[in-house]
């Protein structure tokens, strides 16, 4: 049993931390997150140069990591500084799918930060279930023609290509679609970022992966580890901000942290954050485990992050009082991202049901 990271991962975390501390203040991030393209491309390239993206890929795909704990280390650091660069949506998720299809040039560009791809898998009626697919792909000449709608595709504008899930005779398959064949409707998200609704009307697609359901499941596992670690990083920052506030803010002549009502809320939050950390460790270690254990642990983790994330967001705002409600004060931006993480890749109820099913199969 050893709960310390390897030296390489610790150095990676330090490198990211230093870069972000020196170059990534919150105010421009918030501003960028509320305009197009929803992030700061210079920082995305900067992070790629540091090897942040390469750390998310195994050596045979051109990276130097790719394991659960590599993903966790990177995203925890990004979470601490509330980074909204599309490392998850445009690299971690699409990269391995392209690699599985042999598109190694695209993977190389992704790792270098010079091209971005997006997965368009969720549909308006799907409610987190990526096997709820109505988009259809029909044979057309050498390739396929895709028709349907996809919702909340994050950081889609400016992407070099889209990986679109669609029904075929074989089931659900994944296709590569060029951006000019797709109609995008862009909008900003509550947590500061950008997403698109997508319409495909006979868009030409190239088959990437025939067994799309398995590929989506694998992608979902990586995304859950990343998002959960990001949430943990956010919680770590909120924890520090709230402790500082309890020490500094005075009411009735004493620091508010002297009041037992707040102490007990804080204690609850602190111990739940430790539980969240345990959940992330569990998920990172389980990513390569066989089914149904892998599913069970990933579902347990995303459920835990959803439940605890909401607690930490709500309690920290409450403890900060009015100031916690303001746009100007940093806390609220962290809280918003924490809440929205529950809406990505399945919320706590979705994963509780998934946990129950996986437990039954165990």
> Which residue stretch of 85-93, 104-112, 143-151, 251-259 sits at the interface with another protein (rule: CB under 8 A)?
251-259
Question: For the residues of 244-281, what is the DSSP string, one character each?
Answer: HHHHH-EETTEEGGGSHHHHHHHHHHHHHHHHHHHHHH
Among 43, 80, 222, 277, binds another protein (CB under 8 A): 277
For another protein, the closer CB: 157 or 278:
278
> In angstroms, rounded to a whole number, what is the distance separating the alpha carbons of residues 97 and 162?
11
Among 23, 185, 247, 250, binds another protein (CB under 8 A): 247
Long-range contacts of 307-311 (CB under 8 A, 24+ apart): 307/348, 308/235, 308/272, 308/273, 308/275, 308/276, 308/279, 309/231, 309/234, 309/235, 309/276, 309/338, 309/339, 309/341, 309/342, 310/338, 310/339, 310/342, 310/348, 311/268, 311/269, 311/272
Give the contact letters, 57-96, x = binds to another protein (CB under 8 A), - = no.
------------x---------------------------
Among 31, 274, 288, 293, binds another protein (CB under 8 A): 274
> In angstroms, rounded to a whole number, what is the distance separating the alpha carbons of residues 177 and 164?
7
CA distances from residue 121 to 126, 173, 315 in whole angstroms, order as listed: 9, 10, 33
268 forms part of the interface with another protein (CB under 8 A): yes
Closest CA to 3 of 67, 64, 69, 55: 69
297 forms part of the interface with another protein (CB under 8 A): yes
For another protein, the closer CB: 103 or 351:
351
> In angstroms, rounded to a whole number, what is the distance separating the alpha carbons of residues 144 and 205?
5
Among 12, 121, 235, 246, binds another protein (CB under 8 A): 246
For another protein, the closer CB: 120 or 287:
287
252 forms part of the interface with another protein (CB under 8 A): no
Q: What is the CA radius of gyration of the chain?
A: 21
SS3 string of 134-148?
CCEEEEECCEEEEEE
310 forms part of the interface with another protein (CB under 8 A): no
Which residue is listed with tokens 């799918």?
Answer: 97
> Which residue stretch of 74-82, 156-164, 191-199, 276-284 sits at the interface with another protein (rule: CB under 8 A)?
276-284
For another protein, the binding residues in 206-245 under the rule CB under 8 A are 243
Among 21, 139, 250, 264, binds another protein (CB under 8 A): 264
> Which residue stretch of 88-96, 103-111, 131-139, 348-356 sits at the interface with another protein (rule: CB under 8 A)?
348-356
Residue 62, judged by CB atoms within 10 A of its CB (0-12, 13-18, 19+), counts as middle
Among 30, 160, 278, 330, binds another protein (CB under 8 A): 278
Q: Is 164 helix (H, G, I), strand (E, B) or coil?
A: strand
5 forms part of the interface with another protein (CB under 8 A): yes
Contacts with another protein by CB under 8 A: the residue count is 39
266 forms part of the interface with another protein (CB under 8 A): yes
In the complex, what is the shortest distance from the CB of residue 362 to another protein, in angstroms, rounded to a whole number? Answer: 11
In the complex, what is the shortest distance from the CB of residue 302 to another protein, in angstroms, rounded to a whole number? Answer: 10
> In angstroms, rounded to a whole number, what is the distance separating the alpha carbons of residues 360 and 358?
5
261 forms part of the interface with another protein (CB under 8 A): no
Residues that bind another protein (CB under 8 A): 1-5, 69, 243, 246-247, 255, 257-258, 260, 263-264, 266-268, 270-271, 274-279, 281-282, 284-285, 297, 300, 303-304, 352-353, 355-356, 359
């Amino acid at each position: 049993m050893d709960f310390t990271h390897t030296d390489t991962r610790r150095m990676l975390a330090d490198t990211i931390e230093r870069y972000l501390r020196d170059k990534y203040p919150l105010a421009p991030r918030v501003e960028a997150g509320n305009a197009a393209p929803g992030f700061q491309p210079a920082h995305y390239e900067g992070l790629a140069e540091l090897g942040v993206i390469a750390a998310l890929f195994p050596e045979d795909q051109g990276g130097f990591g790719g394991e659960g704990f590599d993903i966790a280390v990177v995203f925890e650091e990004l979470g601490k500084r509330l980074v909204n660069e599309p490392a998850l949506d445009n690299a971690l998720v699409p990269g391995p799918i392209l690699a599985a299809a042999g598109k190694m040039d695209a993977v190389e560009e992704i790792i270098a930060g010079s091209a971005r791809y997006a997965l368009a898998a969720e549909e308006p009626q799907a409610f987190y279930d990526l096997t709820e697919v109505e988009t259809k792909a029909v044979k057309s000449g050498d390739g396929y023609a895709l028709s349907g709608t996809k919702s909340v595709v994050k950081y889609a504008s400016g992407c070099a290509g889209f990986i679109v899930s669609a029904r075929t005779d074989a089931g659900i398959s994944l296709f590569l679609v060029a951006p000019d064949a797709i109609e995008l409707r862009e909008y900003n998200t509550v947590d500061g970022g950008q997403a698109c609704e997508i319409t495909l009307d006979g868009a030409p697609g190239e088959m990437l992966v025939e067994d799309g359901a398995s590929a989506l499941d694998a992608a979902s596992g990586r995304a859950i580890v990343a998002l959960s670690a990001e949430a943990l990083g956010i919680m770590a920052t909120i924890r520090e901000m709230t402790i500082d506030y309890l020490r500094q803010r005075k009411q009735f002549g004493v620091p508010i942290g002297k009041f037992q009502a707040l102490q007990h809320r804080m204690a609850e939050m602190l111990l739940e954050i430790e539980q969240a950390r345990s959940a992330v460790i569990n998920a990172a270690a389980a990513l390569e485990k066989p089914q149904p254990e892998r599913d069970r642990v990933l579902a347990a983790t995303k459920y835990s992050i959803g439940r605890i994330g909401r607690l930490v967001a709500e309690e920290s705002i409450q403890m900060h009082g009015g100031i916690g409600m303001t746009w100007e004060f940093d806390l609220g931006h962290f809280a918003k991202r924490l809440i929205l993480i529950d809406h990505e890749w399945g919320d706590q109820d979705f994963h509780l049901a998934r946990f129950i099913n996986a437990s039954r199969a165990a």
